[in-house]
Amino acid sequence: MGFLLAVLLVCSACDTEQAKSPASSFSVGSAPSSQGSGVSVTESASVTSSAKGNPPLPATEKGRRFVLLLHGLGGSGKSIERHFGFAGLSRELGFEFEAPDGSLDSAGRRFWNAGPSCCDFDATGVDHVQALGARLDQALARYGSDTQLFVVGYSNGGFMAHRLACERPGVAGILSVAGTAPNDVENCSFAPERVLHVHGDSDEIVSYAGGHVFSNEVTHTSAEYSVSAWGQKRGCKEPLQEGPKLDLESDLAGKETTVLASSCAPSLQLFRVRGGSHSVVANPSAMRELLVRMFADRKN
């Protein structure tokens, strides 16, 4: 009963759509995983405007922006796109996006294999780095080689955003909501220019201080490590320092969110939500604030 309640909490920020026969599906990476099984990720009904046959959005002075939006465990691309209001935000802020569906596990939940910490609980070894990397390659082919690539993820999708930045070249920035970095960022092959990590200090599923997702034996990293480790990877040894406070969460009193960053890596930011649960960034206005920060041109 406790485990079931925890699963429901993970999916509380999005609809748990677990259709076994999606209306549209395609392979986004047929290379075998380390265990020899192929991978197929299904496409959500929510895709970029141009993928639906509309013209691409106008390029910014830095080129076009493409965002890969990743849902949490048991969610779907459609539900997370609707929850964050991505269709409207993409038109307002000028970016293309795609929100695919993850693979189905034995419990009928969609998931991303973001590494040992989360959330391939069936140990399938499915290679979502290859699969989602193929979607990024297709975005470059569609919109041009100067397109900036970003990954936004919630919970399990946040874990996956960190992993993609670690193992996939060309990711300009990530925004992770309640999903932490790999345990060994120092061994990552790549590092993004921008990292925004949002985490409630009262998260009951993915602990702010680090811990275990459900009964998984492998620990996950802390929220502070998930930002400071990327800074160290880039040669910034300074600790995170508290900066301005924001009113990011409308259901929490006052300016509950503290921004932490290092002076030598200001584009790597932790948003610590005082009293925040697993379901932070609960409205499109909060996501808008974070996307504006992620897209901002920074020198460091």
The band of 261, judged by pLDDT with boundaries at 50, 70 and 90, is: very high
Enumerate the β-bridge partners of residue 265. Answer: 262
CA pair distance 58, 112, nearest whole angstrom: 31
Nearest to 101 by CA among 142, 138, 67, 72: 72
Closest CA to 29 of 126, 122, 113, 167: 126
pLDDT 10s digits, 155-202: 999 999 999 999 999 999 999 999 999 999 999 999 999 999 999 999
Stronger pLDDT, 45 or 74, i.e. the higher one: 74
pTM, 2 dp: 0.85
Statement: residue 12 has pLDDT above 80: no
Q: Which of 155, 188, 146, 187 is nearest to 169 (CA)?
A: 188
**Which residue segments constitute the domains of the chain, with CATH numbers given?**
24-295 (3.40.50.1820)
Query: Is the pLDDT reported for residue 44 higher than 80?
Result: no
- Give the residue among 275, 208, 217, 230 at the shortest CA–CA distance from 248: 275
pLDDT tens per residue, range 19-42: 332 222 222 222 223 332 334 455
